[in-house]
């Protein structure tokens, strides 16, 4: 819930060396609004699998105070802008988030969902 890009890069560089040829998946909370930067750092360190959550919903029972998972729609958009094909339709993810949004106790404020809600996606 509190990773930063430098820590992320260091950890995944070590893991890539120690457990080569092992599937590594990264998962980040966005408690301090560092999740997207940490996803990018993990990607640069060779991670190519990420656990995300539509609308950024969720938290972490292990890290006290950790809020919001990194949003699927924002990660997919970033990967697409980097030329990495995911096969995931960002607009369809946002449509799913719009079905969930009225039923959660806090506003969903991810970047791509904001664009979707405002007719810019």
Strand partners, 51: 27
Known catalytic membership, residue 94: no
Among the listed residues 11, 24, 37, 60, the single catalytic one is: 60
Q: Tell me the catalytic residues.
A: 60
């Amino acid at each position: 819930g509190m990773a930063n890009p430098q820590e992320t890069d260091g950890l995944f560089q070590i893991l890539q060396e120690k457990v080569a040829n092992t599937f590594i998946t990264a998962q980040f909370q966005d408690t301090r609004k560092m999740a997207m930067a940490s996803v990018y750092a993990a990607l640069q360190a060779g991670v190519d699998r990420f656990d995300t959550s539509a609308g950024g919903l969720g938290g972490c029972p292990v890290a006290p105070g950790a809020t919001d998972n990194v949003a699927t729609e924002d990660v997919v958009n970033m990967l697409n802008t980097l030329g990495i094909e995911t096969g995931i339709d960002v607009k369809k993810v946002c449509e799913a988030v719009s079905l969930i949004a009225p039923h959660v106790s806090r506003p969903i404020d991810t970047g791509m969902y904001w664009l979707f809600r405002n007719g810019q996606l």
